[in-house]
Chain A
Amino acid sequence: MQFTGMQGELLQCLQMVERAVATRDPSEELTGVYLEWSNEKLTVRATDMEIGIEAYGQVQSSESGSAVLEGKFFVPLVRRLPPGEVVVKLIEEQQMLEIKAGTGSFRLQTMAVEDFPTIGSDTKEPKATLPSGLLARMIRQTVYATRKDQGHSAFTGILMECSSGELRLVATDSSRLCFNRQSLAGGEDFKIIVPSRTCTELLRILPTDTESTVEISLVGNQVLFSLDNVILISRLLEGQYPDYTRVIPSSTEAEIVAPCSDLAAALERANLMGKKGPAIVTFDLEEGVLRLQSRDVELGESEETLVVEQQGPKVRSSFQARFILEMLKTVTSEKISFGLSNGLNPGIIRPADSQDYLYVIMPVRTV
């Protein structure tokens, strides 16, 4: 019972599933990586019962077989093997797995194979199919706004909602909200809250090229993302997502259009003015000139002006610099549009050429 594969391919599979290996498990079986080979196909699987990942690779195998190996040792071993052919052989009577690469030969104790959970299911219904690069971009443009601490559980994940021909991703931590939509042909309706950890792991495995597609489907209480060579299954967050549409203001008093990189650079500098707390930047807009001011009592202050295209009257509002910067980093367009209102009304940032990516940010009260 053995198979022969390339180190690079084996490692690629292992790296995909690595993050799903349980770090602590009372029965220890989930700290393992499951390998199965038959008909030239290698399946590598790991799960911690929160998320599960299964990756597939090409190998040459004469006889099919399966084994579970301690993830903490097997993955680093394969990573350090020399590039080239790797021969993996299961010695059943000793419950050992022999790995041969180059001049090296390694034998690892295997773990019980029977109880390793399977993931995925034949009864899945595909809910939506979209280019993987697109999903990756949408996740990247929302995941940073999820709540990092505990608390309101639904806010620690991303809302994925598919209805009336479009897919919408929403994330919020209650001081800002990301909204991202994409029209989608033939998607069925669903509404799920995906944990942010799942989204981060998904970003690691989603190829960024536009050729490949990813299929989102619901399996029981879980969501399954399927790609050609890898699938990821994840549990969903409990709870109701609040009605985010009420948070997005329909209009603002004034609106500016500015080069994204210039604004980001100015904010990076202003962001330094925060020794203990987050840096607060005051946006002062008057006759096409945006004045950015930030001040820290102990540190000092900064002031900078940008010439922008302005519509509407003069306004003044303050925001956490970091919140705006996080958003600007995910914008691919050259220019952004920033809608501002006086007082404590929220601002809206979006790429100047798109209505599909909205960022609503609550101002900070300043004295």
Chain B
Amino acid sequence: MKRFADLAGQGGLVESLQQAIKSHRVAHAYLVSGEAGSGKKTLALAFAQALLCQEQTATVCGVCSNCRRIEQGTHPDVAVIEPQGGRIRIDEIRTLKDRFALQAYGGSWKVGIIIDAETMTDAAANSLLKLLEEPFGQAVLILLSSSPSKLLPTIVSRCQVVKMQRLSRTQIAAYLEEEEEIPAETALVVAGLADGRLGRAMEVASPKSLAWRERVLAVLAHEDGRGLEALRLAAELDDEPEAIEFAFEVMGSWFRDMLLAATGCPQELIVNQDYFAFLSKEGKLYNEHAYHSAIYQIEDTLRAIRANANRRLALDTLLYLLSDLTSFLKASENHKYGKSSRS
């Protein structure tokens, strides 16, 4: 677990929370918003540790029993609620209320963390509202959400909203290099794919994700187009649907890079830097329309798969098309920005 002050790239945010603890002006409810993998839970747990740490310096010592128990998820004064089967139900909120009705075990703060707060059912949200209105004693509720707009406005208005900051690519790359000992070149690529989110970067940096990236790029970065290989990849992705979203991100980044290379952008902006030589050579072979079309095609297919299209068929079509970009040259006139290729 990271110490509170070390939460990479969240300096300003951490500072204001620490200031709140020091000046005894901790709000009774926070809403932490940020995309998946942006460090919401890490921040919330570190905040809980800072509140309860026996050192009482608004930092996290990481060694006292409170800090350790929070890290292990066994602290009696810190309740973490997660969706069960995709939803947070009223029973979960009731349990939280029961726990909050008791005086703090350690005698100081009680912290309730609600992960993916937007998945609360209406009944659960209304039940929570009551708790937000009449907090019991020294208690803090921390709601985490990647889409706060889905929360009841009455809930949002009772919380102090905290937005996770996006990290720059170099910040993430530097962190990966130093803390995770990932080679500089890979770190930069991973950071490019992570979209400003450290937690996401850690996921992308896993050997499994990196292997998928290699696998996808092996098909795309082949000079003569490989129809059969593309169909094989489609079959593999069909077998492992949880990898699809990531594979599509890689594809998207690839054609974005092609587009940038074609227009002669500097190397720093390229995501897949390890393929820079190939990109700058190959990028000039086709015109911009082909890359635009490819990107639209990828986005369309992902949308279709999310909307429950025939996965195998959609993957086959997409990858076959992508394996030979000349197919887009003819059709390119049909693709205009913002329009679906199927419309």
Contacts and interface: CB of A to CB of B under 8 A. Distances in A.
6 contacts: A29-B74, A153-B136, A221-B107, A237-B101, A237-B103, A238-B101
Interface in A113-132: 115
Contacts of B103: 221-222, 235-238
A236 B343 CA distance: 65
A26 B98 CA distance: 17
B98 A150 contact: yes
A265 interface: no
Q: Which of A29, A195, A221, A238 has the most CB of B within 10 A?
A: A238
B137 interface: yes
B102 A238 contact: yes
A300 interface: no
A156 B101 contact: yes
A25 interface: yes
Contact of A27 (B73, B101, B102, B137): B73
Contacts of B182: none
Interface string B258-302: 000000000000000000000000000000000000000000000
Contact of B97 (A26, A150, A220, A236): A150
A221 B106 CA distance: 7
Interface of A: 25-27, 29-30, 49-50, 115, 150, 153, 156, 195, 220-222, 235-239
B136 A239 contact: yes
A237 B102 contact: yes
> Which range holds the interface residue count of chain B?
10 to 19
Q: Which of B97, B100, B103 has the most CB of A within 10 A?
A: B103
Interface string B65-81: 00000001110100000
B243 to A, nearest CB: 29
Contact of B107 (A49, A220, A239): A220
B104 interface: yes
Given A27-B74, A238-B137, A49 B101 contact: no
B130 to A, nearest CB: 9
A239 B136 CA distance: 7
Nearest to A220: B107
Interface string B57-99: 0000000000000001110100000000000000000100110
A195 B98 CA distance: 11
A45 to B, nearest CB: 16
Given A221-B106, A238-B102, 11 more contacts: A25-B74, A27-B73, A27-B74, A156-B101, A195-B102, A220-B107, A221-B107, A235-B102, A237-B101, A238-B101, A239-B101
Contacts of B104: 221
A279 B191 CA distance: 70
A220 B137 CA distance: 16
A125 B62 CA distance: 31
B118 to A, nearest CB: 23
Contacts of A27: 72-74
Contacts of B97: 150
B102 A26 contact: no
A50 B110 CA distance: 14
Given A237-B101, A239-B136, A150 B94 contact: yes
Contacts of A30: 74
Nearest to B108: A221
Q: Which of B72, B76, B97, B106 has the most CB of A within 10 A?
A: B76
B74 A235 contact: no
A90 to B, nearest CB: 24
Contacts of B76: 49-50
A157 to B, nearest CB: 9
B136 A221 contact: no
Q: Which 9 A-B pairs have the closest CB atoms?
A: A49-B76, A153-B101, A221-B107, A238-B136, A235-B102, A238-B137, A27-B74, A236-B103, A221-B103
A195 B100 CA distance: 13
Interface in B13-29: none
Interface string B91-132: 000100110111111110000000000000000000000000
